[in-house]
Structure 1
């Protein structure tokens, strides 16, 4: 059954025009609900959950969940789920999408928001096509998650009993519709507070304890030990990065050049497909900061202090090739004219948490390119293929 690609593109343009950066998804949530109703989904089948009340950072709204009863010969088959996220990175604020041939580009100097308005377009198009053509399909749950871009929070905090016990899920995120992503890395997000002692840097520098120097020594130790950037230790691999360095929320690291800096706050991350190895990377950072703090002393022999905290953002997963969901995904990609590319991802996905919740989940792309940059654009041929793929996945016998 061919998909109405013009209607699908119109929906995508409509969704791209609605701002909804991570944590501020109320407006795009309302637009999605309106589009679903226009597509024939009854209002009673559409609801918002209360995940935002459990997310530890301010979040305007909960996840959007839609229940589609099974129809026809497949009505009593096990439930399946299609999911995506409805937030964008903050760089997308102010985007102005426009069509340019078989692309959607941006006339503003921002990111476009194809990540992940494309996924939203695919899921609403799926609902519209199933209703328009009265296609046979099993019971389906549609899940639009909040705050994916800032920590996979919506998927992490969804209540499983809200989802209707799906036996498998298909997630739409970035890249090609032919990508069959069956695994992804896990990651720690860590912070370290470095406490030194302030002193006049020109009059009595020896009385101070420089938190900046503690940080410098720690990072030099990490780099020398091979724990920064791409990390390879024998057969184990991972990555790490040092992110924002500040003096706390909204403050610079240090107050003036003539004052020994007494406080620095550092944020970073550690990643690996190996569930133990990314924690080893984090431990290497912790040890380096603690060692550096002891090294930096003042004239009185007092040293600095550090407070290191780490939290697992998401856990790695790699599904077995023999799982039914992978067979279904590969067959569906082939059926819509694609060449299946079974692979793993080096970034976190909502699928990380779905698999952790016990729901096997494959992730596909939907035509997003150069995501999180001002060069972002959407390949409409891939987007159309992603929409056709969703219909294929939903109606396969």
Structure 2
């Protein structure tokens, strides 16, 4: 029997999903949408204590089908528009294809199998929260509810036939710097600029692509209050990623050593 994906239904599912606001931390409504769809296909649906959706069915050797429910900002009030073979936003928001295209693909595959009574392997759909802010939902998932022995995560770049078999370990970090406040126009010599310390620290850290498996980035800095005051506080936010766990450990040690060096330099 030749089966085809229902293109119109797939498009409708995707556009319905992106119209549901679900920035990181606000996935409740999209979770309820998924729960309704999965229950109608005979799955048992549970939300763990963190709000991750975990569906199951009888059987053994389940394959896990997973995707995240959240999107980045600006992702509120998305208005999808179909233009030929493309779906776009109106330009004031993201579209939400990351990763609602994956969510829609999972639902359409399950629905096609259900509608046609296909004899398939046993599956466990799992949809997580807060992926975009550091895989927080996956880190807090209730593994006692996971029965899948292997799985596929629907979240990646490239063509639909492209499969990733590994992903880098991700380490995010925040560095808080406290200087000494002073009036910049009256007695700046009494101050110690937290922004200046931060700039020296950032400049001392190698960034960008460090090797074929490793990247390092300082993505955000925040400091100071007004232009005529020596800034007392500055926050640095960064991350590094690598496929090599030894490199991850070396970078962790390197960042900690650099922070200790600056603590001695600016006690």
Q: TM-score, normalised by structure 1?
A: 0.62
Q: CA deviation at 1:267?
A: 1.0
Match of 2:198 among 215, 226, 232: 215
Q: 2:48: which partner in 1?
A: 49
Q: 1:238: which partner in 2?
A: 214
1:263-278 paired onto structure 2 within 5 Å: 263-278=233-248
8 Å contact 2:38–2:55 — kept in the other structure?
no
CA deviation digits over 1:125-176, x for unaligned, max 9?
1221221111112321111111111111222222222122x22101111332
Q: 2:145: which partner in 1?
A: 162
CA deviation digits over 1:52-73, x for unaligned, max 9?
2xxxxxxxxx111222335xxx
Q: 2:5: which partner in 1?
A: 3
Q: State whether structure 2 residue 108 is matched by structure 1 residue 125.
A: yes
**CA-atom RMSD in angstroms:** 1.9
8 Å contact 1:82–1:170 — kept in the other structure?
yes
Q: 1:345: which partner in 2?
A: none
Q: CA deviation at 1:214?
A: 1.2
Q: State whether structure 2 residue 207 is matched by structure 1 residue 228.
A: yes
Gaps of 5+ in 2: none
In 2, Cα distance between the equivalents of 1:86 and 1:185?
A: 21
Q: Secondary structure at the match of 1:271?
A: strand
Where relative contact order (Cα < 8 A, 6+ residues apart) is larger, the structure is 1
Q: CA deviation at 1:92?
A: 1.8
In 1, Cα distance between the equivalents of 2:259 and 2:90?
A: 45
Q: Secondary structure at the match of 2:258?
A: helix
In 1, Cα distance between the equivalents of 2:130 and 2:122?
A: 26
In 1, Cα distance between the equivalents of 2:226 and 2:71?
A: 36
CA deviation digits over 1:92-146, x for unaligned, max 9?
2221101111111112411100111111111211221221111112321111111
In 1, Cα distance between the equivalents of 2:248 and 2:44?
A: 41
Q: TM-score, normalised by structure 2?
A: 0.91
Q: 2:80: which partner in 1?
A: 97
CA deviation digits over 1:359-383, x for unaligned, max 9?
xxxxxxxxxxxxxxxxxxxxxxxxx
Count residues in correspondence. 264
8 Å contact 1:186–1:275 — kept in the other structure?
yes
1:1-397 paired onto structure 2 within 5 Å: 1-37=3-39, 40-42=40-42, 45-50=44-49, 52=50, 62-70=51-59, 78-164=61-147, 166-175=148-157, 176-222=159-205, 227-232=206-211, 237-246=213-222, 253-295=223-265, 303-304=266-267
In 1, Cα distance between the equivalents of 2:227 and 2:82?
A: 50
Q: CA deviation at 1:218?
A: 1.5
Q: Secondary structure at the match of 1:231?
A: strand
Q: CA deviation at 1:293?
A: 4.1
Q: CA deviation at 1:177?
A: 1.2
CA deviation digits over 1:298-342, x for unaligned, max 9?
xxxxx44xxxxxxxxxxxxxxxxxxxxxxxxxxxxxxxxxxxxxx
In 2, Cα distance between the equivalents of 1:289 and 1:201?
A: 26
In 1, Cα distance between the equivalents of 2:119 and 2:170?
A: 40
